[in-house]
Structure 1
């Protein structure tokens, strides 16, 4: 009978994984564990697509197990970049916490909608998962007796590919890899997004950009920043001229740019120097601006 099903175990499992991932990402001690990576991979590569596939295909016999899994991965790969594109056009920008929260809310809401859709069908027709049966059926689909030698070869190749993928994910997740040291250096518009930069100025008037620096050098670094218009340095506050950041520390501060000369298509340079090289910029960014004469 439609409308009397309990909350499906697969959707409950998905919501549980989302909550668990949020805990391991947001909790200071737990977010240093490899479990964060193990949980983060399905959060990005599987769960968004699975919840949407569950909403679109609420009944049995519409998709085979492997088809449902493959479509879930493919849909996730499409959803996550779109989510990043949306966030990039907001004040949040593409950052870990906003992306995590957005994905979590999306997955939970879509799972709730999928549950509502399944309730519209009789229990014997609504899709459900018995985890033991699903694993057994998937093995049967992959390794079951094929109709031809070609089909058998394809099934073996598929099985080997799945095992290789699982092994690669486990290797990346479990084996500690130290990233190459680097520094993120970026500028944002006054609204906090990577667009809407002020490029039209009036001489003597100011425009604002947001300076961002993230230290991934595995140690504390003393940075020096210089902002130049047509290769001439502009005045900077001391807090942006000399910057000390600990490892994994982020600095984001607004900077007022006040051009003193007028001209068209002038190069505005943002130069970041590290403590080992004072003459050659470690990172550099550019904007091209126009400055009109005083009104």
Structure 2
């Protein structure tokens, strides 16, 4: 006898929905796993680190030497080289021949240790090239310029590396597994079976870190550029050009001496100067009397040169005197001398009738 229809039909509210829920969870888990598999985590980490480093060194401009070294060392000695390695070796399983992959094809396997070593080596080789390019284009190798060039290179290289990696089949792409790599590093350092070998390994690691940290600190820590002020005493030649020659060596009594004072400012900021023109009487190399003839103020922008024309009249009626220009970048002392001047220059003058003119007469 057949069962009643109501006994063979399970109400909708009593049906088991476990299969549908499990299937949905499995699909979600597979989707996340798939996303992780296709995401080049090492390239994402490289871009993220370079961005953080750029913000710290360029935007925030952190002053802590430790923090600047911590971000600057990998930025200079790891990121550029690793980007090139990622471009050249996008696969974990290399091609059997270059014909399969075009002009640039990976035909050899590269281990993680080899990738790291190549990254350091290539970074060290790239930095001088960056320096030459910066010097040729802008002429100023400063920390902000170096960081900008390195970051631009890494961003561009990571884009190319990602394109090459996505062209390879998913199962052949290189993947970085942090946990497995750390485990291998621990076994390499501490799994030697010998306390002596372990100590040597640790000593080598510490020595390498100290050496790289020292170089990285020197590169990423702002260094004061050479700062100086240059003072020149010039004259005009027949063509109207300023020259450091043809100074007058004789002047008649009550005659004028024409000199041009050039002040070049390389102090890194606008600087105010005072030039004191002084007549000095010298005996046995010592100044025994002096007279201030003029004082002139100069306000010179960084990298600029200011010129000032001076017509001075010595007070001596005869004899040999020294006309000195004493330059100060602050307050002028009560007694200006060559010893307390920031910069100075001088010319010797013979006061009185010109012997050559008298001889011609």
User: What TM-score, normalized by structure 2, do the two folds share?
Assistant: 0.48
Q: Is the 8 A contact 1:48 1:103 kept in 2?
A: yes
2:304 aligned residue: 254
1:166 aligned residue: 209
Q: 1:10 aligns with which of 42, 64, 74?
A: 42
Q: Is the 8 A contact 1:7 1:115 kept in 2?
A: no
Query: SS of the residue aligned with 2:174?
Result: coil
1:47 aligned residue: 79
1:184 aligned residue: 226
Q: Is the 8 A contact 2:73 2:213 kept in 1?
A: no
Q: Is the 8 A contact 1:213 1:252 kept in 2?
A: yes
Equivalent residue pairs, number: 219
Q: Is the 8 A contact 2:273 2:297 kept in 1?
A: no
Residue 88, structure 1, aligned to residue 124, structure 2:
no
Q: Is the 8 A contact 2:83 2:158 kept in 1?
A: yes
Deviations 1:53-83 (A, max 9, x none): 1111112262222221111111111111111
Q: Mark the runs of 5 or more structure 2 residues left unpaired by the alignment.
A: 1-34, 94-108, 230-236, 244-263, 276-295, 309-326, 331-338, 344-361
In structure 2, the CA distance between the partners of 1:163 and 1:140, relative to structure 1 (3 Å rule), is same
Q: Is the 8 A contact 2:80 2:122 kept in 1?
A: yes
In structure 2, the CA distance between the partners of 1:171 and 1:78, relative to structure 1 (3 Å rule), is closer
In structure 2, the CA distance between the partners of 1:280 and 1:252, relative to structure 1 (3 Å rule), is closer
Matches within 5 A, 1:183-202: 184-185=226-227
CA distance in 2, matches of 1:16, 1:224: 52
Matches within 5 A, 1:1-295: 6-28=38-60, 31-33=62-64, 34-60=66-92, 62-91=109-138, 93-144=140-191, 157-166=200-209, 184-185=226-227, 203-205=239-241, 212-214=266-268, 238-240=298-300, 252-255=302-305, 278=340
CA distance in 2, matches of 1:256, 1:91: 25
Between stretches 127-136 and 88-97, larger displacement belongs to: 88-97
CA distance in 2, matches of 1:252, 1:131: 51
Q: Is the 8 A contact 2:77 2:123 kept in 1?
A: yes
Highest RCO, 1 vs 2 (Cα 8 Å, sep ≥ 6)? 1
User: What TM-score, normalized by structure 1, do the two folds share?
Assistant: 0.58
Q: Is the 8 A contact 1:211 1:252 kept in 2?
A: yes
CA distance in 1, matches of 2:55, 2:214: 23
Query: SS of the residue aligned with 1:239?
Result: strand
CA distance in 1, matches of 2:84, 2:135: 22
CA distance in 2, matches of 1:224, 1:87: 37
How far apart are 1:137 and its partner, in Å? 2.1
Q: Is the 8 A contact 1:66 1:138 kept in 2?
A: no
CA distance in 2, matches of 1:107, 1:91: 20
In structure 2, the CA distance between the partners of 1:129 and 1:113, relative to structure 1 (3 Å rule), is same
Larger Cα-atom Rg: 2
CA distance in 2, matches of 1:56, 1:186: 47
